[in-house]
Chain A
Amino acid sequence: MGCAKDIVEHCGVPRFVWSDFPLGNSAGRPFDVESQARTLELALRLLETAPAARTTVASPLRWAADATWKHRFLDVAKLSSEEIAERRKEFDVVKAVAKAKREGA
């Protein structure tokens, strides 16, 4: 179950339920039990019925009425050079933190 269609299909998996939702909502819409139950049911149906590897089923659920949200994720065109420099610095810090934690693990 996932939201990043290109990444999961690039890897290749036995079965895939794709939700066209923002990353972080692989199992359905927040606080919407019906949406979550329908998404899981697609996964269960896929377990039962997929005819071959790499079968993708697209959830019919929509995140929003239009696609404007899709332009907001990692939109580098909207960043100033100062913001880019700032994010680069932040990312260096984050990588150092992760490295320290990994090596201590």
Chain B
Amino acid sequence: MSGPTIQFAPEDDVPIRYMDRTREYYQALGFAPYRWAHFTDAPFTPLAVPLARARVALITTAAPFQPEAGDQGPRAPYNASAKFYQVYSMPADSKPDLRISHVGYDRANTVPEDLNAYVPLERLQEAGAAGRIGGLTPRFHGAPTNRSHRVTVETDAPELLRRCRQDGADAVVLVPS
């Protein structure tokens, strides 16, 4: 007696284990292992107003284009000169030129030619126009991809929170690139 054949997905079609992969990579290169941020709990605040009335802030790790900082094009190799080390803010109703040559995105599989794939600003603007959200806060913000946990936790994160509160944000969408 045979039933229907069950077709499971291939065993390797699982979330990439980025931490293992990165550890192995840097170990092979002879570098000390990186320690990723790790907490066993996370804060949680339910949305206090209906989304259609909520002001939503956007935080990105993408960097404003810096003409003097070398190749930041879609096929640029990792470009540390294009990094930034201070929180920045720009008008949320703009079309900013934001790049990601300064971070370790997947250069083997993707070419970042469309800003909207890593910064959902235009989609959020549309959600505001459609009334799906109350609107964006006046500014969106850039979070430095600093290798120092201390600077991220003690300097950059509090500054981002301060700016979001100053802008009256009810919710924040964080998008690492």
Contact = CB atoms under 8 A, between A and B. Distances in A.
Report whether over half of chain B's contact residues are helix, strand or loop; otherwise say mixed: loop
Given A5-B15, A25-B117, A101-B83, A30 B24 contact: no
Interface in A1-45: 1-8, 10-14, 18, 20-31, 33, 36-37, 39-41, 43-44
A86 to B, nearest CB: 10
B24 A2 contact: no
Interface string A69-105: 1111111100100001001100100110110011001
Contacts of A74: 21-22, 24-25
Contacts of B132: 41, 44
B13 A66 contact: yes
6 contacts: A6-B15, A25-B110, A31-B114, A70-B16, A75-B108, A95-B80
Nearest to A87: B29
Interface of B: 10, 12-22, 24-25, 28-31, 36-45, 47, 51, 54, 78, 80-81, 83-86, 100, 104-106, 108-114, 116-120, 123-124, 126-127, 132-133, 146-147, 171, 173-177
A27 B105 contact: no
A31 B31 CA distance: 37
Contact of A24 (B14, B106, B171): B106
A72 B54 CA distance: 41
